[in-house]
Structure 1
Amino acid sequence: MLNFKQLHHFWNVARAGGIVRASERSGLAPQTLSGQIAALEASLGVTLFRRQGRGLVLTETGQMVLDYAEEIFRTGSELEEALLSRSAGRVVPFRVGIADVVPKSIAWLLLAPSMALPEPVRIVCREDKLERLLGDLAIHKLDVVLADSPLPANMDVRGYSHKLAESSVSLFASAALADTLAGDFPACLQQAPLLLPGNEAAVRAPLLRWLEEQRLTPRIVGEFDDSALMKAFGEAGAGIFPAPTLISAQLCRHGELRCIGELPGVGDSYYAIAVERRLSHPATQAISRAAMPPRDG
């Protein structure tokens, strides 16, 4: 059976970058820490560290064990905080980062289940570029990040992507602009004003590919990193803009916007990115359990 005391000593040494530094931080003798790690390696039948010069570096197996140890002790810390908050009658904070390319209506749909938990939750939302949000996630300033793509492979951030929802994409325009479009969809897009999401939006590339396949050349009149700002320009009649079909009814409910048409083969997905392989925060678990099934419309 895994000895969690030994695992905790290993975790501290790995985080400190060596036995001597871990000894200074913990007040335990280096010999004690070495003995605890040796006992853990013996019980697991693996080598966790290898010597490099005068120091120690993690083996590949050691890195895997560290990943699990991080998750185990972080979960334990969150459990302790949650129990203390409950006993003190405090509201548990739920710190969410929302990538600025995620439509606000989608963010609300995904986060709504966290507001209906039996235990009160205070949701704290922060919107920013995905890269900056993932940096805050890595240092535990955020509990989860909502994005339109999984964790980028080229980012030096340890995390896990949990798919929550997917939707096809449709094009929308103000009623006044829609009335000026000539012909049926998609031919009506030729030379029509178009608003594009920024380079970081996952839907941008497939949308441009679809237009190329259809041999359509609309006039690109604006590009937006912020989906809400793009929608505001669209509502004002500046151009046609893409949005998830999932929120079509919500966008068009007042009659100020119209759905011009759905884009076959163009879709968008939404993810909860967390530092845990198994979600532990009750609010994150709630949004994962309520994740919408895949759909095209």
Structure 2
Amino acid sequence: MAHANLREPPASPHLVRFTQDFGQRSLLTVDTEEEFDWSAPFSRDGYGLDHLRRIAKFQQFCEGIGVSPVYLVDWPVAQSELARDIIGSAVKAGKAEIGVQLHPWVNPPYSEDVSIENSFAGNLPFSLEREKFLRLRNLIETNFEVVPRIYRAGRYGLGPNSAQMLSETGIAIDSSVRARFDYSAGHGPDYSHHPVNPYWTDTERKLIELPLTTTYWGMLRKQGGLLAPLVRRHPGLGGALSRLGLFERIALTPEGVTAEEALRGIDIALDDGLPILVLSFHSPSLAPGYTPYVRSEEELDAFYDWLRQIYAYLDRRGVQSTTVAEIMEKALV
């Protein structure tokens, strides 16, 4: 089987087609991870898991709006008895799904130096990336009594051999590509030229790449590939272009993106025929003080309001929530 280098954009992507009844759907993914200081150097210790108790409220909220979230759990969370109780109960009830998220700096074996470069698992030697992944995947299967079928590399840090690792271990969907984002300045991948549509990564069509949804909006959005690098180099330019309604990059996340912006992004994605809108956020945002996006209870209320507005709009547009299991079932091989 030929495995693609997922860090590189496919030369001629084989887009995933779905059964006619699938239509256009949304998938809510949660990077379910430990709390740590995002502005401090990476560390193997000193993290917390206090926010996990808030997942119970979030899960209840999701059930109330008819959404089955995908919890992409990393090593500290997979070890947590509280996470097993809250998330595991929802998974067993068919109200949520679980996947793998690899934060290499807190995931054994601990044989590499802790650094910015090594925080991207795909930068590690393949044998070490694979061993860390296998230990986490097996821990999840043991503690949550379910076989995970979806993966996201922490910090979106895929490597040249990640597809091989995932295919060999039963992962059916990777959702690590953050299309239209470039992390190369910090030793990470450059996804600025990757497709936003789901595509097959291998010739035998065993592994789907399901990018996180990001759209270009504005009168000049068709020139996004040319404008985005300029905006990265000149931050003030991005604000000016956005205010003039000319160009804006919109990720479907409640973290740093207003509901108004997200609704514009949804319209573009749906009008472009994107079959699956992938929304995402980090689980520590479910409690105040752990991410830059939610610093108070008032901001947490606004966070939930964002989700209410987005899903109410998706409902009006006829976009139903989907699951990993349904995506695998409805994908035409």
Q: TM-score range by the shorter chain?
A: under 0.3
Which of the two has higher C-alpha Rg?
1
TM-score scaled by structure 2?
Answer: 0.24
TM-score scaled by structure 1?
Answer: 0.26
Query: 1 or 2 for the larger relative contact order (CA 8 Å, sep ≥6)?
Result: 2
